[in-house]
């Protein structure tokens, strides 16, 4: 891949530790969880983390959607290409995250909160389903002051590409807007992930405020459908939704927006300038699949690395699918 600037890619979202285990119906019922979902933890959910660790031999895995994407992108890019921002606590969970990102060669600039715990994401696997329940903890205290601090803002100014995970809309929209405006002002590339259906459902206003700045918007089929429903689009057709996303008003008119919707094993739908292109996924034998958690994050990592390296769009998609395929053969979003 062609040489790139140091820290060309800057990513922002919530660094989390995944506490992942095989669960069962009884566990889902105990905490009122759906088999296939992503939610923010309420008071009644907080016992699940210890429960998973003590009673379901849970594994601790470095997680957080965009942090996984950043690790994935760094994996494909030259050393010192990617930096990740987010909030953590001052605890053993943060130490595990530091180890994992170091192994991946990912630089992190965490805002460290002395009072709050590092965020945790309980992942309950039942069959092919996974239910995620996140207690954001210190990640929820990320603030614009950290982003605007001289050392961090220097990294912002130095980067040519920004990747923001939609999950951060629940935390610090002002930081997202600051990056978005910086991108538009300087004709840099702003990549945004829709992250989960609940973002479109419950964080519509900050989502819509960021939308004009998206140069690339990435989501999966359920996120696309949730967007359509929450925005009153009278269609459940993924291609129509992708076209709609690509055609939303745009702040930086020097770049056309591209909307990318992945659909698990079904072709990836790409909308650009009113046209749809479909890219079949890289087939993989069922027996080779270990864990599809984070397939979408890995896809976004491979895709964004392609953008940073300046390769054509079709190759960016291919790289995303390649990295996703690699990731689902490992445990957790590796
Ligand atoms: P998410 O993890 O956000 O739900 P998807 O399920 O759409 O995202 O997966 C993203 C990408 O990962 C797909 O476009 C595809 O390239 C790859 N992928 C996911 N599941 C499989 C699979 N079973 N076999 C091959 N590739 C897969
Ligand atoms: Mg999926
Ligand atoms: Mg996803």
Q: What is the pLDDT of residue 281?
A: 94
Rounded to 5 degrees, φ, ψ at 140 are -75, -10
Closest CA to 84 of 102, 103, 66, 72: 66
**Closest ligand to the CA of 261:** 1
Q: Is 105 left (phi over 0), alpha (psi -120 to 50) or beta?
A: left
Question: 193 CB under 6 A from ligand 1?
Answer: no
Q: What is the pLDDT of residue 331?
A: 60
Distance of alpha carbon 302 from alpha carbon 286, whole angstroms:
22
Q: What is the pLDDT of residue 333?
A: 55
User: Is 297 a known active-site residue?
Assistant: yes
Q: What is the pLDDT of residue 33?
A: 97
Distance of alpha carbon 36 from alpha carbon 130, whole angstroms:
5
Distance of alpha carbon 192 from alpha carbon 207, whole angstroms:
10
Work out the number of other CB atoms within 10 angstroms of the CB of residue 26.
Answer: 7
| Termini Cα distance of the chain | 22
Q: Is the pLDDT of residue 75 over 90?
A: yes
| CA nearest ligand 1 atom 20, residue | 264
Question: 325 CB under 6 A from ligand 1?
Answer: yes
Percentage of the chain modeled with pLDDT above 90: 91
Percentage of the chain modeled with pLDDT above 70: 98
Q: What is the pLDDT of residue 128?
A: 82
Cβ–Cβ < 8 Å for 164, 211: no
What angle is formed at CA 320 by the lines to CA 318 and CA 323, rounded to 5 degrees?
A: 110
Question: 303 CB under 6 A from ligand 1?
Answer: no
Q: Identify the band that residue 293 occupies on the pLDDT scale cut at 50, 70 and 90.
A: confident
Give the ipTM.
Answer: 0.94
- 294 Cα–ligand 2 center, Å: 8
Q: How is residue 10 written in tokens?
A: 């800057």
- 10 Cα–ligand 1 center, Å: 24
Question: 200 CB under 6 A from ligand 1?
Answer: no
- 149 Cα–ligand 3 center, Å: 30
Residue-wise pLDDT for 137-194, tens only, equals: 999 999 999 999 999 999 999 999 999 999 999 999 999 999 999 999 999 999 999 9
Distance of alpha carbon 179 from alpha carbon 188, whole angstroms:
10
What sign does the CA torsion over 14, 299, 264, 203 have?
Answer: positive
Q: Is the pLDDT of residue 3 over 80?
A: no
**Bridge partners of residue 40, in order along the sequence:** 134
Q: What is the pTM for the complete model shown?
A: 0.95
Average pLDDT of the chain is 95
Domains of the chain: 9-15+64-116+137-327 (3.40.1190.20)
Query: What's 118's DSSP letter?
Result: P
- 293 Cα–ligand 1 center, Å: 9
Cβ–Cβ < 8 Å for 332, 186: no
Closest CA to 232 of 198, 271, 268, 204: 204
SS3 content of the chain, % helix, strand, coil (to 5): 45, 25, 30
Lowest mean pLDDT among 187-196, 228-237, 292-301: 292-301
| CA nearest ligand 1 atom 6, residue | 264
Question: 22 CB under 6 A from ligand 1?
Answer: no
Q: Identify the band that residue 1 occupies on the pLDDT scale cut at 50, 70 and 90.
A: very low
Q: Identify the band that residue 289 occupies on the pLDDT scale cut at 50, 70 and 90.
A: confident
Contacts for 321 with CB less than 8 Å, ≥ 6 apart: 268, 279, 281, 282, 299, 302
């Amino acid at each position: 891949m062609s040489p790139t600037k140091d820290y060309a890619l800057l990513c922002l979202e919530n660094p989390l530790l995944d506490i992942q285990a095989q669960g069962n119906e009884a566990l889902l019922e105990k905490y009122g969880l759906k088999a296939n979902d992503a939610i923010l933890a309420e008071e009644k959910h907080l016992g699940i983390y210890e429960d998973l660790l003590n009673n379901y031999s849970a594994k601790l895995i470095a997680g957080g959607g965009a942090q996984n994407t950043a690790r994935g992108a760094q994996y494909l890019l030259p050393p010192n290409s990617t930096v990740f921002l987010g909030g953590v606590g001052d605890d053993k969970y943060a130490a595990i995250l530091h180890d994992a990102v170091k192994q991946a060669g990912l630089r992190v600039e965490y805002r460290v909160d002395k009072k709050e715990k590092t965020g945790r994401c309980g992942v309950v696997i039942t069959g092919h389903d996974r239910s995620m329940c996140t207690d954001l903890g210190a990640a929820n205290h990320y603030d614009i002051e950290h982003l605007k601090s001289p050392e961090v803002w220097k990294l912002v100014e130095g980067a040519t590409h920004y990747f923001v995970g939609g999950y951060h809309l629940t935390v610090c929209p002002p930081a997202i807007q600051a990056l978005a405006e910086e991108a538009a002002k300087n004709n840099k590339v702003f990549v945004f992930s829709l992250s989960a259906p609940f973002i479109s459902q419950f964080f519509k206003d900050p989502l819509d405020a960021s939308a004009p700045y998206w140069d690339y918007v990435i989501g999966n089929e359920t996120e696309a459908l949730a967007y359509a429903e929450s925005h009153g689009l009278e269609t459940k057709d993924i291609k129509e939704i992708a076209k709609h996303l690509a055609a939303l008003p745009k702040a930086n008119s020097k770049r056309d927006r591209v909307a990318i919707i992945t659909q698990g094993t079904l072709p990836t739908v790409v909308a650009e300038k009113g046209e749809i292109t479909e890219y079949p996924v890289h087939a993989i034998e069922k027996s080779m699949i270990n864990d599809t958690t984070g397939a979408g994050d890995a896809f976004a990592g491979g895709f964004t690395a392609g953008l940073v390296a300046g390769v054509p769009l079709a190759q960016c998609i291919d790289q995303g699918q390649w990295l996703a395929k690699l990731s689902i053969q490992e445990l957790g979003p590796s």
